[in-house]
Amino acid sequence: MKKLCVMLAAVLLLALLSGCAFTDKLGQIDLPEPPGTEKETAAPTPDPAEAAAEQARQEELNARRAEALAEAERLRSGYFYDEAIAALSDEEIYDESVEAELAAIRAEKDSLVDYTGDVPHIFFHSLIVYPELVFTDRVTPMGGYNSGFSEKAELEKILPQLYERGYVLYDLDALWEMTDSGMQRNPILLPPGKTPLILSVDDVAYAYGDGFAQQLFVDENGELMYRVNNPQGGVDIVPDGDVMGVVDAFVEQHPDFAYRGHKGTIALTGFQGAFGYDYDIPEQAEQIRTVSAALKADGWNFASHSYTHNRVNNYYGPGCSVEKISYDINKWVDHVVPCIGETRLFIAPFGYRVQQPALQCILDAGFEIYCTVDSKVYNELNPDYALMSRIEIGGYSMTYYRDTLNELFFDVDSVFDVAGRPPVVG
Ligand SMILES: [Zn+2]
């Protein structure tokens, strides 16, 4: 016992005197190194090459992680939830930031609700890019382009308001599905507070003359570009010369405005060609193929808007006959489908609702979703087809359906170019 006390006293003394010259003699006693001396004396010199390699490895991992997080965020905001989760599947980059992003994606996916109301559908004709070329007389009341058309500047003001109101561009083709028990509405899963919106663009033949796009083409970089005659007598080559380009630019800035990249439906006729080309001239038909493939890749799809776009002589109007509707539909299928591919979307010219027996010609050609025109939102499910109304956005509706547009879509006063247009008549 006494011996132990002596030992302890010695240890204590040693600890106190550590650093003095004679402590070395007692080095065989197992004592902790005084703080601050161990690293300098005991640790092996680190290999600089190894340290540099480790640092490079960490930097590469950080870069990969940042890239994957940005990609996941981009996918999540476009409602590609599973794809966003897959973008973060690399185990090497896993850390708290990846874990937090994965949790956020899963939480948003779990929060989605099925939108069960009627789906609204708005449509435009090609945009008036230069109103001064179309409305040379701003005094005499005017219909035509002034009635059914919107200006590019107006659409640019409409889109942010639709976005603010929680609208999300949705795919018309995804709304209904033919099942064994007939047509059925598919679930529309969106975050709470979001509303699906169908957008379509009519005609897009580019046969309107000055003030509008003259042609759409794919440039050497693979970009969709419009040829538009400008007021100075020159030709603009621009990416936003019509609805599709203006919507593209907005979605680029607001990916959550388009559901899984889908932007809208283009309703093509036959008699005037498409995008500034003729279906019946082989080289031009090839251009239509190129442009429509690029539009599809960009989030657009196609509907039939009839071949003739005719409402007299028993076509798409009162007295429509099986003979005329059948002629029209067959002509569309023969001339247009080879260039743009098959579609089950039918956007009736003038929104005319063809009745049986002529309707059967349209259904038998494979069309399952039929669109009319109205001033209200209306969806109708039939055993063999679904029908929905479309609301036109143009001078006429901005003048005569102001309350409807204000209530449903945007504040008309902040959009409508009253100064640049003559008074609107139907
Ligand atoms: Zn039309």
CATH, residue 376: 3.20.20.370
- Could you tell me the distance, in angstroms and rounded to a whole number, from the CA of residue 262 to the centre of ligand 1? 22
- Could you tell me the distance, in angstroms and rounded to a whole number, from the CA of residue 348 to the centre of ligand 1? 8
Token duo for residue 154: 């107006």
- Could you tell me the distance, in angstroms and rounded to a whole number, from the CA of residue 271 to the centre of ligand 1? 12
- Could you tell me the distance, in angstroms and rounded to a whole number, from the CA of residue 258 to the centre of ligand 1? 24
- Could you tell me the distance, in angstroms and rounded to a whole number, from the CA of residue 306 to the centre of ligand 1? 9
344 is a domain residue? yes
Q: Are residues 312 and 375 in the same domain?
A: yes
Do the Cβ atoms of 389 and 376 come closer than 8 Å?
A: yes
Q: Are residues 95 and 224 in the same domain?
A: no
Q: Are residues 150 and 291 in the same domain?
A: yes
Q: Please, which residues have CB within 8 angstroms of residue 246's CB and are 6 or more apart in sequence?
A: 127, 152, 155, 156, 159, 240
Q: Are residues 248 and 326 in the same domain?
A: yes
Q: Are residues 58 and 154 in the same domain?
A: no
Q: Are residues 266 and 392 in the same domain?
A: yes
Q: Please, which residues have CB within 8 angstroms of residue 332's CB and are 6 or more apart in sequence?
A: 270, 304, 306, 307
Q: Are residues 89 and 106 in the same domain?
A: yes
Three-class secondary structure of residue 268 per DSSP:
strand
- Could you tell me the distance, in angstroms and rounded to a whole number, from the CA of residue 108 to the centre of ligand 1? 39
What is the helix (H) or strand (E) element at residue 373, kind and residue range? strand 369-373
**pLDDT tens, per residue, the chain with 426 residues:** 445 444 444 444 444 444 444 344 444 445 555 555 445 555 667 789 999 999 999 999 999 999 999 999 999 999 999 999 999 999 999 999 999 999 999 999 999 999 999 999 999 999 999 999 999 999 999 999 999 999 999 999 999 999 999 999 999 999 999 999 999 999 999 999 999 999 999 999 999 999 999 999 999 999 999 999 999 999 999 999 999 999 999 999 999 999 999 999 999 999 999 999 999 999 999 999 999 999 999 999 999 999 999 998 899 999 999 999 999 999 999 999 999 999 999 999 999 999 999 999 999 999 999 999 999 999 999 999 999 999 999 999 999 999 999 999 999 999 999 999 999 998
- Could you tell me the distance, in angstroms and rounded to a whole number, from the CA of residue 309 to the centre of ligand 1? 7
352 is a domain residue? yes
- Could you tell me the distance, in angstroms and rounded to a whole number, from the CA of residue 33 to the centre of ligand 1? 90
Q: What share of the chain is helix, strand, coil (3-state, %, to 5)?
A: 45, 20, 40
Write out 93-111 in H/E/C secondary structure. Answer: HCCHHHHHHHHHHHHHHHH
What pTM, to 2 d.p., does this model score?
Answer: 0.87
Do the Cβ atoms of 391 and 404 come closer than 8 Å?
A: yes
Cα-based torsion angle of the residue sequence 130, 132, 135, 140 in order, rounded to the nearest 10 degrees? 160
For residue 24, what are the domain limits? Answer: 2-37
Q: Are residues 30 and 103 in the same domain?
A: no
Spatial distance between the Cα atoms of 391 and 376, rounded to a whole number of angstroms: 7
67 is a domain residue? yes
Q: Are residues 188 and 81 in the same domain?
A: no
Q: Are residues 133 and 260 in the same domain?
A: yes
Tally of domains in the chain: 3
